[in-house]
Structure 1
Amino acid sequence: MSESLKTEYQLCEELGRGRFGIVYRCFSPLTGESYACKTIDKTLLLDSTDRECLEKEPKILHLVAGHPNILHLFKIYEDDNYLHLISELCSAGDDLFTRVSRGPLMEPEAAQILKQLVSAISYCHHMGVAHRDIKPDNILFDTRGRLKLADFGSAEWFGMNCESGMMEGIVGTPYYVAPEVLRGREYNEKVDVWSAGVILYIMLSGVPPFFGETSTETFEAVLRGNLRFPHRLFRSVSPEAKDLLRKMICKDVSRRISADQVLRHPWVISGGEIRSMADLT
């Protein structure tokens, strides 16, 4: 552990772990506040792509800092073997994956979550950043219940430092990745809108729109992109919500709406409120 980190923070219990790092709760005697410390073991980063992501994530987090729905990075400590990222602390065990694992959400709750998520995505896009790994595990909630988009390890600049405004590289998670990413061609920031649409589908139905027994089968289902609304799962979901889903989970990128357009959609503006029983299908 970095000596400067040890002098300013007390490392407490483990909150979670990933492929390269562990997240701890840490306490600052100076401020009297608790934070999250993501400790990354650099010796495990044998691939050049992984090392590039390690270097890029703190820079991108600083670039998108300031939005209330993006996890705030406070400090960075680094030594020969480890990188430590000190960020705001979210509620332990309260991420969107945990919430949707309990079953579908009511439309007003789903709309409130989607609005915060897409507000963060829209802000990133205006800053020339695509997240590229939008999934429930990366959507946290603070102690006040406010959504925090986290884990920018797969994020990429498509503006500012990128003349074409396009990106490449297969990144993301099977259920949520956009088909154009899987095709191995250049793509734009609307990949995040597709992923957010998949999350909305899961929030309303309890299951992903495209899935298979293996990752390969799931990827094949994503590439086909046959969006369906099974009656047993969507009988109580409003036509407005289905309309938004069709516009977000759209294979034709030119017809897929932007993050800003999602925020202007009537279902989001109304807070997911169904106007009358006649609106139900």
Structure 2
Amino acid sequence: MARTSELSRTVAAMENRETVPLSELYDVEEDIGRGYFSTVHKGIRKPDGQQVAIKFIKKLTTGRFADRFITVPGFSEPLFAEVALNLLLNRPPLSPYIVHMLDWFEEEEQYILILEYSEPCRDLYGFVLQEKLNESQARSLMYQAVLAAKHCLDGGVFHRDIKLDNYVINTATNRVQLIDFGCGEVPESGIKGQFIGFACPPEYFADFEYDAEPTTVWSLGIMMHRTVCSCNPLRKEDGHLSFDSRVSAEFQELITWCLALNPAERATMEDILQHEWFRQERMSGAI
């Protein structure tokens, strides 16, 4: 409840914000991550000493990854897309499986996002690669990952870049959270144009059109397979997916459903959460 109240107050403050230099409010510490167009640092919020992550994003005016802007209720002008999508996700109900934005700044050559940060924390890709999880351990992490992706769609946000690299895990609590909305968009029916993101769905190659939920499900199918089987999914000559004989029949069924080539035959987000493979997570009440 305290976290919800704090973020609600933060949203209200951002909607009526005055420009204050970053240096007056935050100390920037060491680099903890890098992307193609951004860097992330640890930071400290000066008024209360709270630890945060500070993401610096270079402004781009041309090319495939040129800055995009989205209109958000309460703001008179369209906002930088990653800021806008974070604001949409800051409205109640909040999800514990998403890293939320606490503040943002715009400078001449860059945008700066202030994000939640907790330690000990690492990216989920590195964690999965190193830990060699069994199926039960993987299921617990993937259930949280699916809840995060579903919350985005329910809140009017299409992440579009679902992959292990875009989740972080607190290694003390095993809490998984979704990050990085730089490829995101507001969901709409029949998205057209060049695809940006990790896992381009097969329907895109038919008419360069795709929808948010089937694309998210496709991405989740690839990510879950990678987490459990330690490799990307492969299809045999007959078109069926190839699985390691050690994984459960329930898992094979779920991934086959998520990776149906026809989006009309693909699982929905709710189908995934209600599937037998996740039954133990639902019954345990631990998540």
Q: Select the structure with the greater relative contact order (CA < 8 A; seq sep ≥ 6).
A: 1
In the aligned structure 1, how far is the partner of 2:208 from the partner of 2:145?
26
CA contact (8 A) 2:51 2:118 kept: no
In the aligned structure 1, how far is the partner of 2:181 from the partner of 2:204?
17
How much is the aligned-residue C-alpha RMSD, in angstroms? 2.5
State the percentage of identical aligned residues: 27
Query: Could you say which residue in structure 1 is the equivalent of 2:82?
Result: 57
CA contact (8 A) 1:171 1:181 kept: no
Query: Could you say which residue in structure 1 is the equivalent of 2:223?
Result: 199
Deviation for aligned residue 1:100 = 2.3
Tell me which amino acid in the other structure corresponds to 1:156: E
Query: Could you say which residue in structure 2 is the equivalent of 1:214?
Result: none
SS at 1:87 equivalent: strand
Query: Could you say which residue in structure 2 is the equivalent of 1:114?
Result: 142
CA contact (8 A) 2:123 2:166 kept: yes
Once the two structures are superposed, residues 114-139 of structure 1 have per-residue CA deviations (whole angstroms, 9 ceiling, x without a partner) of 11111111111222322111111101
In the aligned structure 2, how far is the partner of 1:266 from the partner of 1:55?
40
In the aligned structure 2, how far is the partner of 1:225 from the partner of 1:89?
46
- Structure 1 pair 259–51 and aligned structure 2 pair: CA distance change class (3 A): same
Deviation for aligned residue 1:180 = 2.0
Tell me which amino acid in the other structure corresponds to 2:223: I
Q: Which of 24, 37, 40 is 2:54 aligned to?
A: 37
In the aligned structure 1, how far is the partner of 2:131 from the partner of 2:240?
20
Query: Could you say which residue in structure 2 is the equivalent of 1:16?
Result: 33
In the aligned structure 2, how far is the partner of 1:269 from the partner of 1:119?
14
The equivalences for 1:58-207 within 5 A come to: 58-65=83-90, 66-91=94-119, 94-102=122-130, 104-142=132-170, 144-158=173-187, 162=188, 165-168=189-192, 169-173=194-198, 176-189=199-212, 190-207=214-231
CA contact (8 A) 1:8 1:29 kept: yes
Greater mean alpha carbon deviation, residues 44-53 or residues 247-256 = 44-53
Once the two structures are superposed, residues 21-62 of structure 1 have per-residue CA deviations (whole angstroms, 9 ceiling, x without a partner) of 1100001232221100001122x5433742116811111111
Q: Which runs of 5+ in 1 are unaligned?
A: 211-220, 274-281
- Structure 1 pair 45–98 and aligned structure 2 pair: CA distance change class (3 A): farther
TM-score if structure 1 supplies the norm length?
A: 0.81
Once the two structures are superposed, residues 162-200 of structure 1 have per-residue CA deviations (whole angstroms, 9 ceiling, x without a partner) of 4xx221231222xx3321234452211210111111111
Query: Could you say which residue in structure 1 is the equivalent of 2:269?
Result: 259
SS at 1:51 equivalent: coil
CA contact (8 A) 1:104 1:205 kept: no
Q: Which runs of 5+ in 2 are unaligned?
A: 1-18, 70-78
- Structure 1 pair 248–60 and aligned structure 2 pair: CA distance change class (3 A): same
TM-score if structure 2 supplies the norm length?
A: 0.79
SS at 2:153 equivalent: helix
In the aligned structure 2, how far is the partner of 1:69 from the partner of 1:227?
32
The equivalences for 1:202-221 within 5 A come to: 202-210=226-234
Query: Could you say which residue in structure 1 is the equivalent of 2:44?
Result: 27
SS at 2:67 equivalent: helix
The structure in which a higher percent of residues are strand is 2
SS at 1:132 equivalent: coil
Q: Which of 236, 241, 245 is 1:228 aligned to?
A: 241
Tell me which amino acid in the other structure corresponds to 1:170: F
CA contact (8 A) 2:224 2:255 kept: yes
Tell me which amino acid in the other structure corresponds to 1:15: I
Q: Which of 23, 34, 50 is 1:6 aligned to?
A: 23
Paired residues in the alignment total 249
Query: Could you say which residue in structure 2 is the equivalent of 1:250?
Result: 260
